[in-house]
């Protein structure tokens, strides 16, 4: 990249969820925010009341220039607004919409995207969740130059981050949030010194948006794989299984601490004071707390006592 904007960049920020708010604040502390762009307000809750995305609500509280266009493609009015803001560069962080090619060249330095993985690994909507589901021991943050593809642009900065064995998706997101805020400030302060590096397409992997089915337990899998999936889907859709035809959320689980009695996958092999042990394809899991349908979370042994099950009873197989 060429030109010098260190310490004086005029920045347009594109982001929507809570994750992006501290990143916005880190940028605001060092640079001039000339425009904040978030997704439109959406109906939420039983009353379907319109609610602003966290970034939009935060920008409004601060009195920052705010735009929430319903669409970006072929939106001449918004393109003119972005150009009129005088932004030298735009930054995207969990904005949630693809950027059309015609918008990418509006700021003088284009768009920088913050992606929470070590690209080209885990391109897509859910890199944090899939890194956990796949049992990765490290991930990181990439600052990339946005191009028309899905997280395919050249890499400007990267920094790795070890993943603690017990971290769930919210834990990892919090660590990456701090890293992302620090790294984007570093990138913006040295735009003239950054050398774009093309991604190695042969190493690309994908992290698609999660579905409800991604939270279903398949007891045929090994205990470690099921636990890693639990960590990845912890916030949504959460881990659930079916016992005696009834859906059960597994709100706290862990790999069995001791070698349990061998059983068939999905078989309850023992009940202790604080857990219920279930056999997997390899190893076993301890259920610590669970949430039956239409009830609050409770200790797993309390649920077991009311379930009608006996040692040797098995969870229902995964449907479909």
What are the extents of the domains in the chain?
10-203, 212-307
Query: What average pLDDT score do residues 120-141 get?
Result: 98
Superfamily of domain 10-203: Formyl transferase, N-terminal domain (3.40.50.170)
Q: Which residues contact 282 (CB under 8 A, 6 or more apart)?
A: 222, 223
pLDDT confidence of residue 247: 96
DSSP string, 183-224: HHHHHHTTGGG---B---GGG--B-PPP-GGGGB--TTSBHH
Q: What percent of the chain has pLDDT over 90?
A: 91
Per-residue pLDDT band for 5 (boundaries 50, 70, 90) equals very low
Nearest CA to 85 out of 101, 108, 63 is that of: 108
Two structure tokens written together for 87: 């932004």
pLDDT confidence of residue 320: 55
User: Which stretch of 16-30, 178-192, 260-274 has the lowest confidence by average pLDDT?
Assistant: 260-274
94 pLDDT more than 60: yes
Asked if 287 contacts 250 with a C-beta cutoff of 8 angstroms, the reply is yes
Query: What average pLDDT score do residues 124-146 get?
Result: 98
3 pLDDT more than 70: no
pLDDT confidence of residue 4: 37
Phi, psi angle pair for 251, to nearest 5°: -85, -20
Higher pLDDT: 96 or 2? It is: 96
pLDDT confidence of residue 7: 43
Q: Which residues contact 162 (CB under 8 A, 6 or more apart)?
A: 137, 138
Q: List beta partners, residue 21.
A: none
Distance of CA 109 to the CA centre of its chain: 27
- Mean pLDDT taken over the chain: 94
Query: What average pLDDT score do residues 92-108 get?
Result: 95
Residues 170 and 175: their CA atoms lie apart, in Å, by 9
User: Which stretch of 45-54, 137-146, 215-224, 265-274 has the lowest confidence by average pLDDT?
Assistant: 45-54
Peptide bond into 293 cis (omega under 30): no
pLDDT confidence of residue 44: 82
Taking the model in full, what pTM does it have?
0.94
Asked if 314 contacts 276 with a C-beta cutoff of 8 angstroms, the reply is no
pLDDT confidence of residue 168: 98
258 pLDDT more than 50: yes
The 3-state DSSP class for residue 92 equals strand
Query: What average pLDDT score do residues 220-241 get?
Result: 97
Residues 92 and 99: their CA atoms lie apart, in Å, by 10
Asked if 302 contacts 292 with a C-beta cutoff of 8 angstroms, the reply is no
> At how many degrees (to 10) do helices 21-30 and 54-62 cross?
30
pLDDT confidence of residue 45: 77
pLDDT confidence of residue 255: 95
Q: pLDDT tens digits, residue range 275-319?
A: 999 999 999 999 999 999 999 999 999 999 999 999 999 999 987
Query: What would the CATH number be for the domain defined by 212-307?
Result: 3.10.25.10
Residues 280 and 128: their CA atoms lie apart, in Å, by 25
The 3-state DSSP class for residue 176 equals helix
Query: What average pLDDT score do residues 241-268 get?
Result: 92
6 pLDDT more than 50: no
CA dihedral of residues 39, 160, 187, 109 (deg, nearest 10): -60
Higher pLDDT: 257 or 207? It is: 207
User: Which stretch of 35-49, 66-80, 132-146 has the lowest confidence by average pLDDT?
Assistant: 35-49
Per-residue pLDDT band for 262 (boundaries 50, 70, 90) equals confident
267 pLDDT more than 50: yes
Residues 197 and 205: their CA atoms lie apart, in Å, by 18
| Sign for the pseudo-dihedral over CA of 9, 142, 119, 237 | negative
Find where tokens 């707390």 sit. Answer: 289
Nearest CA to 35 out of 81, 94, 93 is that of: 81
């Amino acid at each position: 990249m060429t030109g010098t904007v260190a310490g004086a960049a005029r920045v347009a920020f594109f982001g929507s969820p809570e994750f992006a708010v501290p990143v916005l604040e880190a940028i605001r502390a060092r640079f001039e925010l000339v425009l904040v762009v978030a997704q439109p307000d959406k109906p939420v809750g039983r009353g379907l009341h319109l609610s602003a995305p966290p970034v939009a609500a935060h920008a409004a509280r601060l009195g920052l220039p705010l735009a929430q266009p319903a669409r970006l493609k072929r939106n001449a009015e918004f393109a003119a607004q972005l150009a009129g803001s005088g932004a030298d560069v735009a930054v995207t962080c969990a904005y949630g919409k693809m950027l059309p090619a015609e918008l990418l060249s509006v700021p003088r330095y284009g768009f920088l995207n913050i992606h929470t993985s070590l690209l080209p690994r885990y391109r897509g909507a859910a890199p944090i969740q899939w890194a956990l589901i796949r049992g990765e021991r490290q991930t990181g943050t990439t600052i990339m130059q946005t191009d028309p593809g899905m997280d395919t642009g050249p890499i400007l900065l990267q920094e790795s981050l070890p993943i603690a064995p017990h971290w769930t998706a919210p834990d990892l997101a919090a660590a990456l949030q701090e890293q992302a805020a620090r790294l984007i400030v570093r990138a913006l302060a040295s735009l003239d010194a950054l050398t774009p590096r093309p991604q190695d397409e042969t190493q690309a992997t994908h992290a698609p948006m999660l579905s409800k089915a991604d939270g279903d337990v398949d007891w045929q899998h090994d205990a470690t794989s099921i636990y890693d999936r639990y960590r990845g889907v912890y916030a949504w859709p959460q881990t659930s299984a079916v016992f005696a035809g009834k859906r059960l959320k597994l709100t706290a689980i862990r790999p069995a601490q001791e070698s349990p009695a061998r059983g068939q996958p999905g078989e309850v092999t023992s009940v202790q004071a604080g857990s219920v042990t279930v056999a997997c394809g390899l190893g076993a899991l301890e259920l610590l707390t669970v949430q039956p349908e239409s009830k609050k979370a409770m200790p797993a042994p309390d649920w077991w006592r009311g379930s009608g099950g006996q040692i040797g009873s098995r969870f229902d197989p995964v449907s479909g």
